[in-house]
Amino acid sequence: MIPEEIVRSPSWYESSARNRIAGVLDADTFHEILGPAERVMSPHLELFDLPPAFDDGVIVGRGQLDGKPVAIIAQEGQFMGGTFAEVSGAKIVGLLRAVTAAAGTPDGVSAVLLLLDTGGVRLQEANAGELAVSETVRALLGVRAAGIPVVALVGGRAGAFGGGGIVTACCSHVVISEQGRISVTGPEVIETNKGAEEFDSRDRALVWRVTGGRSRVLLGGADSYVKGDVASFRAAAARSRNAAPPFTLETMAAEQERLEKRLSSYGDCRDTPEIWARAGLADPASVPDIDDDAFLALLSEREIKHDAR
């Protein structure tokens, strides 16, 4: 028997990108652009003897959230690690540019929802993927400069790594669950390059303490923490759409201050419990162990809020 709460609201982590979209948007409002039947696929995977996907692992389109139009992008972390590549990246970039072009017109949207689930750049298409990340950053900031918030939703299997970590931090607002992970260089790559002494990637608790959702939201790398079900992500997306900082010089100056302060306050810490202790948390070692309700209560007590992203 499947528990009732799982039937009502499936896990974000376990869901496919298509199911996440269906769960985030109002029912039957999703209009996919360049859907699978268009067969817009990677021209490069064949060179590596790898099977392609009809959507190249990225689903883009329009829909509604609480009756208001939104643009939506979802990466499928199970296909090639949800990577940025020539086609998958161009779909993201094309949508973001179209959103900017439509800003202020009747075709405009109220927000862009970016459902990240990515290991970063697809190495089989490394140069195209790297450029796709850079183009995504520029197009995304164009959307924000046009006054439209971009909300990142992070809680998938592949996390938001590499260029995906950079793209996440370019968004107006970041929503994350306990299972969400954000980082640039993954623990395995650090271990390969610098040794297990620097970062033991098999120490899962350590990996989560460094990259996981709770640490990110406590430190300011994410803005909203949600339970890991699809309905919670939907509710947070709707809420945060109205609370996103504009992309301005003032916001960047505030972010500069926020990030400098973090470096001077915690730059000599070795592990996150050290940071939480210095930040005045009553029981820093318990942060990974308490349940989501207790963690949410802890967050609301501390009122971790900033308008600098």
Partner 1 sequence: MTPVELLTRLFPSGHEVVAGPFNTLAGRAILTDGAAVEVVGVTDGAPLSPEIATELAGRIIRIVQDGKKTPIVLLIDTASQRMTRRDEMLGLNEYLAHLAKVVTLAGLSGHRTVAVLYGAAAAGAFIATALAAQTLITIDGAHPSVMDLPSIARVTKLPLQLLEKKAETTPIFAPGVTPLAATGAVLENWSEADNFSNRLETALTLEASSDTRDTLGEERGGRKVAYSVALRVAAEFEKAAR
Partner 2 sequence: METFTIRAQARASLPGTGRQAIVGVVASGNLEVLLERSETGDAVVVDVTTSARGFRAVWEAVVADFIARSSPGGVRFSIHDNGARPDTVTLRLLQGVKLLETQP
Question: Segment 38-97, which members bind partner 2 (CB under 8 A)?
Answer: 46, 49-54, 76, 78-80
131 binds, among partner 2, partner 1, none (CB under 5 to 8 A by kind): partner 1
294 binds partner 1 (CB under 8 A): no
In the list 4, 270, 282, 305, the residue contacting partner 1 (rule: CB under 8 A) is: 270
Strand order through the sheet with 173-177:
31-33, 58-65, 68-75, 111-116, 150-154, 173-177, 224-226
* Contact (CB, 8 A) for 241 and 149: yes
Question: Cβ closer to partner 1: 198 or 291?
Answer: 198
Partner touching 196 among partner 1, partner 2, none, CB below 5 to 8 Å by kind? none
Which does residue 74 bind out of partner 2, partner 1, none, counting CB within 5 to 8 angstroms by kind?
A: none
How far is residue 47's CA from residue 25's CA, in Å, rounded to a whole number?
37
Q: Could you tell which of partner 2, partner 1, none binds residue 16, using a CB distance below 5 to 8 A set by kind? A: partner 2
Of 20, 290, 9, 19, nearest in space to 154 by CA = 20
Q: Check: CB of residue 240 under 8 Å from CB of residue 224.
A: yes
Cβ neighbours of 112 (radius 10 Å): 25
Q: Which of 10, 77, 129, 156 binds partner 1 (CB under 8 A)?
A: 129
Buried b / exposed e over 129-142, threshold 16 CB at 10 Å, is bbbbbbbbbebbbb
Which CB atom, from 41 or from 121, has the smaller least distance to partner 2? Answer: 41
Binder to partner 1 among 5, 46, 260, 289 (CB under 8 A)? 260
Q: How many CB atoms lie within 10 A of CB 186?
A: 20
Instruction: Report the interface residues with partner 2, using CB under 8 A.
Output: 16, 18, 35-37, 46, 49-54, 76, 78-80
